[in-house]
Chain A
């Protein structure tokens, strides 16, 4: 894998460092990384891997570039909105470095395809956004013996580690089980500081590059926590769990399983349980019905459980704001003698609030399907979508 003169020129700042040199650069050229997702983490990671000269970069994604991605997914540009993320990412990476190969896989990672997809790669870079795919990626890495450059983000906080190396811990050693769906908010729900995935994604890329070149001390057995607001990095110790179901001494998971089921996200089980527990299916309403009620000046209480900053972006007329986290303390502000309609952005948080109110003995609580987003789509387009 000799370097051409053009490559020598391009990588000169690497080549003059004894830790990298021609040997390290040739290892990078021979090396390969599979990025799971071309989103917040995958964007900066893939850009730096390409610039560094990693010979083959694979990307798994099936999404389309959206305006709301551009605040952090720096691999895509404004003119890419509406294009497939893979096509957009491939163009950008080859523009940055034409000496590398980009392999794209327009598919959702699944138990059926993960092992085949991972097999040809040296390092897997986990930049997904959901628990089923994170456990799937971990287990596939352990089964194949591939290191997993892991990163995860929420609002102002990021986590990074390297899992599934030969003697190191895996993601399941750290978290044996996922949280039940709904208990931990997603980025779409919770928001994320745009520059945060830039920090975490480049840490993942750094680790991938070190692993390929075999230099330095990898982030194995260490869990790095970054708080952007306090500008603090903390390092926690991670141990390989001898009882780990996938990488322990007597593993019980020896092949890939159904991760949707493992993470409890199969059908909307909690919603169904709530409806049957109340012996009624009248637990939801929609924006058309809400509009009718408002126009008819019906007497009901419209509860908005979003955060104050979301309320500032736009609101449904007549609503009262009590953020989801404050509902338990402020339940006395919610009348018991009226019909309650709860809404949020999309309907997820409000479903939780509605379930809580029913537990508190409220008998007439409805969740607004589709939330204020649906209101903007169907009733009042002046309310901005975010």
Chain B
């Protein structure tokens, strides 16, 4: 069952400019692993050298931060939307 992952503007160059992609997976971790296999350029932006999710990239299941759910083990249901929200500093 494929779920929709919303891709933020700064990361769209790595998904062929798509603002949303559909990938399979039963948990957030599986979905992100499949996402970064499909779009390898995303990987260094989401994970650090130790394979941990970077602390300036937040992942939401619908409107909930996965850090307050089961993190990457959070189960995903059909119809759930996943958002990747990196920190952005622009203002001028």
Q: Which chain A residues have a beta carbon within 8 Å of chain B's beta carbons?
A: 37, 39-42, 63, 69, 73, 126-131, 134, 151-157, 159, 174-179, 183-187, 190, 192, 197, 223, 225, 227, 229-230, 234-239, 323-326, 328-329
Contact = CB atoms under 8 A, between A and B. Distances in A.
A328 B47 CA distance: 17
B73 interface: no
21 contacts: A37-B92, A39-B92, A41-B92, A42-B92, A126-B91, A131-B89, A153-B88, A175-B55, A175-B56, A177-B55, A184-B87, A187-B90, A187-B92, A190-B10, A190-B90, A230-B19, A234-B83, A236-B63, A236-B64, A236-B65, A326-B13
Contacts, number: 112
A157 B65 contact: no
Interface of B: 8-10, 13-14, 19, 40-41, 45, 54-56, 58, 60, 63-65, 68, 83, 85-92
Closest 8 CB pairs of A and B: A325-B13, A39-B92, A187-B90, A129-B92, A179-B56, A177-B55, A175-B87, A154-B88
Contacts of B10: 154-155, 184-185, 190
Contacts of B60: 236
Contacts of B85: 159, 223, 225, 236
A183 B45 contact: yes
B89 to A, nearest CB: 5
A325 B91 contact: no
A108 B70 CA distance: 41
A339 to B, nearest CB: 26
Given A176-B55, A177-B55, A235 B63 contact: yes
A47 to B, nearest CB: 16
